[in-house]
Chain A
């Protein structure tokens, strides 16, 4: 027993402490509790890993039964294998840094204790998700992180936009969870268990499904869940809006950890996908499309956080592509590196926003001198995400693209193009923010060290993080990603990244104004992309409004009030009507009464003569 349960427990305690007593605690105390909790679970994680190293076989710990479904036990069971180990490090490590950063970032905010309570709660659920040893517990974490993301996106609940974004996030995720839960039911119905340790062996004993089959169905349903949590087509729409939340939240939840849960889940279920090629293909295609599509939008955005949000979507697409082409190790590898540079990007952006109180790139510019530390760290992240050789991003992206090429060359090419665009829009953001002349801001100041230190740490990781060979580490879990190293392809990909950077330089530093002209020239196309292909509007018109209006006009007014109640009241009215008719008998006139008596007796007489008529 390694007491894995302590890892999620610390943040939970942090949550309870801050959540229940927070209002009475001092800022310092709150910080101590929140950061301390995460630090504790980080350290405990290291301790456990140290103890279990090299973690050849998964380490399972059963605690107690949660739900006994008929004969099947669904327990609070935690498991640790190399996959979850990687995730643990990301979550606790990056989480720790971001907690520290937040201390500075949120210093001036109201509801301080609430923020950290939520953040801890998130850590708890995220760690549960990662350590869960069965699907239902995984689902608990899955929903839990969704809840925290909801709470944190809506942290500034006085702003309508914030609470809207929060609702959107939760509900869209629910759509994904719908698929996920169905998958769970299907798994249970077919394998009679939800324990990973029992399901996956059972699966791998199945023949590979050529066409449509249960495993494929499960795979696709899981994918639906994944697209929700990891913001893939068609359910990505919530993530850009999620930027309403405080920036550390965007960094932790909507870049580094939660949104990668989908990728983690797909990787976790690799056994299923490998036996359902159709589903796996779907993963790849959705990933690739998302990557490309989001990148195009990223190019046109001006809100710095929105840019990075679309970039996140795009990068997650990369990971799905990786997983989809069978390179699960590469996907997780990219998850790993992405966690560093994307967290860094956001935190950097946060630092900029903190400095200016401004998110619009068009009103920044020339910050390089004012906030040098932020600038340099951001630059590292940008280089890494652009896949500039020997940065972390380079290695992970390279792995994926190679696997993609081996799977289907066109995927490689499209991926590469995306890489170029990625480099372009990231550096576009960098140049717009830090180069050129100040556009509209008076004074800016560098962030306090409590914020810059995490930046530095992350910068180091996003440069060097690639030298930890995640794929190799995960090799025992996944079949070796096919395709040996091809320098050519790698070079092309790297070139694409550099080209993107160069282009960005041309547009936003060398020839300012060229961007506007190009945009003008592109006209309709540009407007289409700038408006995110009107997808939100489409959903609004095609799904939301019909449901709401339909429910109000048709179901409530017509069916409920009109039809059903109408029928009921109709019966009532009819009864009274009958009563009204019957009252007419009572005319008060004796002779008509006599006529009734006569009528009755005659009828009775005849009936009796007829010999009893029933």
Chain B
């Protein structure tokens, strides 16, 4: 199985695009959970970049980094969701736009 693949740059560009998409989600979604998921999307994009670069450099380190990113993401998820929970308890809503009592 050896058909011409695509240049590495494509993977990286895909990563960039997904990163931007994640950012877009953070910007345009109004549901806290969705925003959080958008961040996860961004992290995935970064991971893709790591992996692609690992391939490019022929090193395992990139993969290790990707692995750590996953762990961190998991940890963030746990705390993040807990925080979201408390917000929901106090506000009975996940609408981010309701969460702006702190302002000038």
The answer to the question of B103 belonging to the interface, with a C-beta cut-off of 8 Å to chain A, is yes
Cα distance, A589 to B95, chains bound together (Å) = 11
A590 touches B101 (CB 8 A): no
A189 to chain B, nearest CB (A): 65
B26 touches A591 (CB 8 A): yes
A590 touches B23 (CB 8 A): no
**Interface residues of A: mostly helix, strand, loop or mixed?**
helix
The answer to the question of B78 belonging to the interface, with a C-beta cut-off of 8 Å to chain A, is no
Cα distance, A586 to B101, chains bound together (Å) = 11
The answer to the question of A598 belonging to the interface, with a C-beta cut-off of 8 Å to chain B, is yes
A583 touches B27 (CB 8 A): no
CB within 8 A of A590: which of B28, B100, B104? B100
Query: B103 to chain A: which residues have CB within 8 Å?
Result: 586-589
- The digit string for A570-614, where 1 denotes a CB below 8 A from any CB of B, is 000000000000011011111100110010000000000000000
A501 to chain B, nearest CB (A): 95
Closest B-chain residue to A589, C-beta based?
Answer: B100
Report how many residues on chain A are interfacial, defined by Cβ distance under 8 Å. Answer: 11
Cα distance, A598 to B20, chains bound together (Å) = 10
Query: Which residues in window 47-104 of B have CB below 8 A to A?
Result: 96-97, 99-104
CB within 8 A of B99: which of A584, A586, A590, A598? A590
- The digit string for A234-276, where 1 denotes a CB below 8 A from any CB of B, is 0000000000000000000000000000000000000000000
- The digit string for B8-35, where 1 denotes a CB below 8 A from any CB of A, is 0000000000000001001110100001
B102 touches A590 (CB 8 A): no
Query: A583 to chain B: which residues have CB within 8 Å?
Result: 104
Query: A591 to chain B: which residues have CB within 8 Å?
Result: 26-28, 30, 96-97
Query: A590 to chain B: which residues have CB within 8 Å?
Result: 35, 96, 99-100
- A-B residue pairs in contact (CB < 8 Å), sample of 21: A584-B104, A586-B103, A586-B104, A587-B100, A587-B103, A588-B100, A588-B101, A588-B102, A588-B103, A588-B104, A589-B100, A591-B27, A591-B28, A591-B30, A591-B96, A591-B97, A594-B23, A594-B26, A594-B27, A595-B27, A598-B23
Name 18 extra pairs, CB < 8 A, besides A583-B104, A589-B96, A591-B28: A584-B104, A587-B100, A588-B100, A588-B101, A588-B102, A588-B103, A588-B104, A589-B97, A589-B100, A590-B96, A590-B99, A590-B100, A591-B97, A594-B23, A594-B26, A594-B27, A595-B27, A598-B23
